[in-house]
Amino acid sequence: MSEETGERAITDTHSTTVHCLSSQDESRRLRYMQKDGRFPVVFQKAPGQWSPYLTDIFTTLVELRWRMVFLFFLLSYILSWLFFGLIYWLIAYVNGDIDGEESRLCVANVRGFTGAFLFSTETQATIGYGFRTMTENCMGAIIVVTIQDLFSCLLDTIIIGIIIAKMASARKRAVTVGFSRCAVINLRNGCLCLAWRLGDLRGNHILEGVVKATVVRYVRKPQGAIVMSYQDLDIPNREIVLATPATVIHRIDPSSPLYGLGPEDLLGNHFEMVVSFTYTGDSTGLLHQTRTSYTPTDIHWGQRFQDVMKLHKGRYKVDYSLFNATVWVPVPLLSAKEFGRRRRPVVASQNPQLSFSLESPSEHNLQENLEDSTEATHQTYF
């Protein structure tokens, strides 16, 4: 297409670029961490090792699924009503209230288990219908009512605390803070850099946050055991104010685990890059964390993220529809190690008709060469 028409060719790189091709066993390879931040790890406990869960029972209940929390909510109240109702019925049975005179009843209008259960429910839920009331005839019944009142206050505190803690969980806030679906490798100031995008979809922004990235590899021993290795990536600006989408940059220097990997080597290397963003929300003041992972097939060589922010009527306008969009940029198909050895490497784009020479090590000149080309810019959406 010509420049006069102002049209751009749109290409889906899921099937056209080498970055998205996976080996045959890639689909069967287990990820260290899922894209949504969950770890596919199952812990096998030794028999009798449940004491830590019982010691920290509050955290154990908070980590339960919502359906289990609702089940615990219902059972805790129903079973407590039944338990104290059974005690009131036993007191009435021992005192002879089943067929006794009304003036000698321990609890007025309670002559059977049904009445005892209703009195237990009214006492613990503070309904107070006034039909069944405690009398002064039995000291034991008075003690049981006092214990039930104290137990009711404690149970309400625990249940409400668990529900509030689950509603304010970091997992819920993390849904609206997300990473880009892919990471990209391009040139910045003459150096190969790995980049990924981070954004907040909510209107109430984050107070402060810290970004961290770790390359995780596992080695399988002959006996079948697996040993995990971790190596942190150096990120110059870890602290981010996420009022607008931010691009996190890692420079691929000699200290980087990606230093000796080129485009072909990247696909043949088995690792996983785990990235996280730990931050404090301005609405609740609570600490949250959002995390995801990138495999070698999620890292796109020779692309950069599309611009998402513009000035509009005196404000910054962010277009989140382009949050995961990337465009081609000229990048040498060499590892950072080999690129550092060659002062004037040949730069090849994914389009075979586009070929560039690094006359200047700056990314600005590379972008100007790309814009001056008469070829169409290939834009990618994921």
Give the Cα separation of 340 and 52 in Å (integer): 53
Report the number of distinct structural domains present in the chain: 2
Give the Cα separation of 120 and 351 in Å (integer): 78
Q: Do residues 1 and 9 make contact, with C-beta atoms less than 8 angstroms apart?
A: yes
Which two three-digit tokens encode residue 369?
């060469």
Domain match, 270 and 187 both: yes
Domain match, 80 and 219 both: no
- Of 142, 169, 196, the last residue of a domain is 169
Which residues 6+ apart lie within 8 Å of 262 measured at CB?
A: 333, 334, 335, 338
pLDDT tens by residue, 268-284: 888 899 999 988 877 66
What is the DSSP code (8-state) at residue 177? E
Give the pLDDT confidence score for residue 44 in this predicted structure: 63
Domain match, 203 and 332 both: yes
pLDDT tens by residue, 336-364: 988 888 754 444 444 444 333 333 334 44
Least confident span in 39-43, 110-114, 149-153, 244-248: 39-43
Domain match, 94 and 231 both: no
The total of other beta-carbon atoms located within 10 Å of residue 352's CB is: 7
SS3 213: strand
Domain match, 161 and 203 both: no
Give the Cα separation of 92 and 102 in Å (integer): 12
Asked if residue 382 belongs to a domain, the reply is no
Assign residue 239 the CATH number of its domain.
Answer: 2.60.40.1400
Give the Cα separation of 36 and 38 in Å (integer): 6
Domain match, 183 and 99 both: no
The total of other beta-carbon atoms located within 10 Å of residue 296's CB is: 22
- Of 137, 169, 201, the last residue of a domain is 169
Asked if residue 42 belongs to a domain, the reply is no
Average pLDDT over residues 204-209: 72
Domain match, 192 and 332 both: yes
Domain match, 310 and 189 both: yes
Asked if residue 245 belongs to a domain, the reply is yes
Asked if residue 7 belongs to a domain, the reply is no
What is the DSSP code (8-state) at residue 107? B
Q: 304 lies in which domain range? A: 173-343
Domain match, 276 and 322 both: yes
Q: Do residues 300 and 181 make contact, with C-beta atoms less than 8 angstroms apart?
A: no
- Residue 103's pLDDT band, with cuts at 50, 70 and 90, is confident
pLDDT tens by residue, 4-61: 444 444 434 433 333 333 344 444 567 777 777 777 776 666 555 666 666 677 778 8
Mean pLDDT of the chain: 77
Assign residue 86 the CATH number of its domain.
Answer: 1.10.287.70
Domain match, 225 and 338 both: yes
Domain match, 149 and 206 both: no
- Of 169, 197, 213, the last residue of a domain is 169
